[in-house]
Amino acid sequence: MSDILFLDKPFMYTGLGTLTYTVPTGTATQSYNVHVEVTEVPPSGLSIVVNKSGSPIFTAPALAPTQIAQQFKVSFQAASTNVITVVLSSASAIDSVINHVKATITLAQGAN
């Protein structure tokens, strides 16, 4: 099960998982953007992928061994009933520890 994202409301997320937003039925194609800020303690195997209707549209670069934070913003077009997901996953057992990965994810309309 995934958590739900809301437009223009920063979502504080702890741990690994999937956050989901479904573009409302009848919505015309328009620009959206996802801003993600992640803090964690290395070492890490954290992977962050933004998907639109199941297809990856952005994969964040891997963290360097000494890097303790990452942020990015990605813009894209989405239309009625498209499903936007932000997936935080990891191959490292350390990242599955509760409160190890902390992220703030914001979904907004517009390219900025």
Whether 1 has a pLDDT exceeding 60, the answer reads no
What is the b/e burial string over 8-34, where b = at least 16 CB atoms within 10 angstroms of the residue's CB? eeebebeebeebbbbbeeeeeeeebbb
Question: Which pLDDT score is estimated for 20?
Answer: 97
Is residue 20 within 8 Å of 1, Cβ to Cβ? Answer: no
Across all residues in the chain, what is the average pLDDT?
A: 90
Whether 97 has a pLDDT exceeding 80, the answer reads no
Task: Report if pTM > 0.85.
Answer: yes
Residues paired with 13 in a beta bridge: 103
Give tens-digit pLDDT for 15-45.
Answer: 899 999 999 999 999 999 999 999 866 677 8
The top-level CATH class assigned to 3-109 is mainly beta
User: Count of CB atoms within 10 A of residue 93's CB?
Assistant: 8
